[in-house]
Amino acid sequence: MTRVAIVTGGTRGIGEAISLALRDKGFVVAANYAGNDERARAFTDRTGIAAFKWDVADHEACLTGCAHVAETLGEVDALVNNAGITRDGTILKLSYQQWKEVIDTNLGGCFNMAKAVFPGMRSRGWGRVVNIGSINGQAGQYGQVNYAAAKSGIHGFTKALAQEGARFGVTVNAIAPGYIDTDMVAAVPSDVLEKIVARIPVGRLGQAEEIARGVAFLCSDEAGFVTGSTLSINGGQHMY
């Protein structure tokens, strides 16, 4: 039986690694993206994974986009809410628009996408939802009240939705990555990055593939007894 997975923000960085990992596990993958058409085409040419464009912050676009994926590839069995943005700044400098954009995309996107696919998963008696949180949603981070709030909200969202899906064969889990070697982290000034790495007990940044392997497990049949859980993959930087 072939299963279909949607990975939001699935054409680059951690999302690309997740799309590839799920493809390699036998899923038919739809990689959602919001902006860069040229990069999405290059991703599809390179991987053979279909890319679908919509903004996860737009509720109606999510409903329409997921319906289009279902019509094109089949009913959606797994959802990975990976799409995320940053608009960093201390609260003295942070505008309401910067706050709203991050909340609407990073947290609102989880609701919008789950709203679109959860009913079908429940009615068919099998589903996997994996939400990508963050170490900064667990521990906080200076200059990221918007991002930390959104990512922290994801962990609460995960636990609540897990309770709704459990008896219908739908598991809902989260992964909280630490600092991963992606374009987003590469934009951090080198002196700041050195200080970050110095606080990671394993002594290095994580790799996107390490997050993807966690997602692939949580989307598998073998993970059927795991729900409402957050898997922290952070090199030991934050333990609790």
Using the structure block, give the residue that is written with the tokens 């053979």: 48
Pairing of strands 230-233, 76-81: unpaired
Question: Of 33, 96, 142, 147, which one is the catalytic site residue?
Answer: 147
Please identify which residue in the block is written with the tokens 């667990």: 138
Q: Is 26 exposed, middle or buried (0-12, 13-18, 19+ CB in 10 A)?
A: exposed
Phi, psi for 175 (deg, rounded to 5): -120, 135
The residue whose two tokens read 């054409």 is: 11
Is 179 a residue of the active site? no
HSE on the CB side for 62, CA within 13 Å?
25
As a whole number of angstroms, the distance between CA 122 and CA 17 comes to 27
Token look-up 């949580």 returns 218
Catalytic residue numbers read 147
